[in-house]
Amino acid sequence: MKLASFAFTILALFHTPLATFAQAPSLDAEDIKIAEQLRDEALKSSKGYAIVESLTTEVGPRMAGTPGDAAAVKWGEAKLKELGFDKVWKEPVTFPTWKRGVETAEVISPYPQPLVITALGFSIGTAAEGLTAEIKAYETLEDLKNAPDNDAKGKIVFIKYKMKKARDGSGYGPAVSARGSGAVEAAKKGAVGILIRSIGTDSHRMAHTGMMRYADDVVRIPAAALSAPDADLLENMLKRGKPVEVKMTLGARDGQEYTSYNVIGEITGSEKPEEYVLIGGHLDSWDLGTGALDDGAGVAITTAAAELIARLPQRPKRSIRVIMWANEEQGLVGAKAYAEAHKNDLNNIITGAESDFGAGKIWRIDSRVKADALPVAKKIAEIMEPLGISYGNNRAGGGPDLIPLRQLGVSVFSLRQDGTDYFDYHHTPDDTLDKIDKAALDQNTAAYVVLAYLSAQMDGDFGTDIE
């Protein structure tokens, strides 16, 4: 810590004349000192853990449009008020809903035994008596796409692709397309159903749910994921060269339109209250787990960070706005609604960042700011150095719920978490509180409080129309 403070002193000395000369955005030395205190305070706060413990215990699963969703909205409002936010309100978000129902599968022949599956989000159901057909396996979605017409005629397609583990979650992209568009591609080849190996990196007998999509001009077929051990089992059966017949039964169906809410808490700024730093996580979860990692942790980290700022003797210059986003899982629905509702005052957002990659330690910070604000972004990174965080690049994504705003030019930051184990639990029943390490959560809070506080205090801005 001492070394880092020393480095800061040098840079601060160096920075001041630059800032003066170019009128570039800059940070005040006193603010940096406070940010460092907030950072160190966060490391011993455990407030984030208390928040996610509360959400998972008192609400639990909160899939969009369920009673859990409504309970989470009530919880969010109450929690923000309890924690001393200056303003707490909610903004409506309306969307179609989906219900899971029963989900079972079994091998009928040649080796009868049950399989563990879970329906993919917005899959149709099967007939009540189930769907029985022979399995037709493909290594990848690409192989399925490249197969001849009618290659899977009357069959249940099985995509075997195994997602790869990586700290940055980079295995997800190549894998998840099988979940998103597998049903459409399988139906194009004449399939009557599809089973994918779960988009996950664990070896536990729990299947990973998540969204799938249909196309208007392609017949809709039921879609589910197999747990990794069940996908292995099916592969081993298929190696024996005999036809493998599987029965799958899904009770999934569409529900009615529903209105939920983005829940918003504000620490109101003392000098430019209309300008704000936007941080948050999404309040909805999938239905299988208690949504501790996805995304109770994100809600908790960002709320705890703002709460630390609220405890200061005076309010920051700009406002800090925590958004608990509605219905991220089924298509960034809350994020899109917010961008639409606020499209005329986006210039008020100084920058934004969502925490939505579990509860692993942050190891890198990326920015997306205008060129002359880069020194400030890098100085913010420097204050995080004692946390084991280094600066990455200026191509930050900002997190899923920041995508609509980022696309409209809003500056964003990405505080990149270690996601090595994230996809072991993602979208499964195993997404529960015990997977969260308190110290790692505090480290996250420490990083967010530095970002939020210094962004609220900086002279100048990060830009308002960033490519």
The phi and psi torsions of 415 (rounded to 5 degrees) equal -95, 100
Compute the distance between CA of residue 74 and CA of residue 424 in angstroms, rounded to an integer: 30
d(CA 176, CA 446): 32
Residue from 36, 77, 328, 382 carrying the catalytic annotation = 328
How many CB atoms are closer than 10 A to CB 276?
26
The contact mask relative to a second copy for 434-453 (x = CB under 8 A, - = no) is xx------------------
Q: State yes or no: residue 105 binds a second copy (CB under 8 A).
A: no
Interface pick for a second copy out of 175, 196, 233, 333 (rule CB under 8 A): 233
Please identify, using beta-carbon distances, which residue of 291 and 398 lies nearer to a second copy.
Answer: 291
The nearer residue to a second copy, 431 or 442, going by C-beta atoms, is 431
Nearer to a second copy, 237 or 304 (CB): 237
Q: Does 61 sit near a second copy (CB under 8 A)?
A: yes
Of the candidate residues 68, 190, 193, 400, the single one contacting a second copy (CB under 8 A): 68
Check if the beta carbon of residue 123 is closer than 8 Å to that of residue 222: yes
Strands (E), 101-215: 103-109, 113-115, 117-119, 131-138, 156-159, 193-197
Number of Cβ atoms within 10 Å of the Cβ of 332: 20
Cβ distance 35 to 55 under 8 Å? no
Separation of CA 410 from chain center: 19
Q: Smallest distance, Å, CB 238 to a second copy?
A: 10
Q: With contact defined as beta carbons under 8 Å apart, do 158 and 140 qualify?
A: no
Cβ–Cβ < 8 Å for 359, 431: no
Residues 187 to 226: which contact a second copy by CB under 8 A?
Answer: 203-206
Which listed range, 19-27, 65-73, 190-198, 247-255, lies at the site for a second copy (CB under 8 A)?
Answer: 65-73
Nearer Cβ to a second copy (176/237): 237
| Burial grade of 170 (CB within 10 A; 0-12, 13-18, 19 or more) | exposed
113 binds a second copy (CB under 8 A): yes
Q: How far is the CB of 120 from a second copy (least distance, A)?
A: 19
Q: Report helix angle 67-82 to 47-58, nearest 10.
A: 150
| Of 442, 240, 464, 432, the residue nearest 351 (C-alpha) | 464
- Applying CB under 8 A, does 430 fall inside the site for a second copy? yes
Q: Which helix (H) or strand (E) holds 236?
A: helix 228-238
Provide, rounded to whole angstroms, the least separation between the CB of residue 226 and a second copy: 12
- Residue 141 lies near a second copy (rule: CB under 8 A): no
Binding test (CB under 8 A) with a second copy, winner from 5, 58, 94, 388: 58
103 a catalytic residue = no
Q: Which of 228, 297, 299, 446 binds a second copy (CB under 8 A)?
A: 228
Q: Which residues bind a second copy (CB under 8 A)?
A: 53, 56-61, 67-68, 71, 111-114, 116, 203-206, 228-229, 232-233, 236-237, 240, 289-290, 428-430, 432-435
Residues assigned a catalytic role: 328
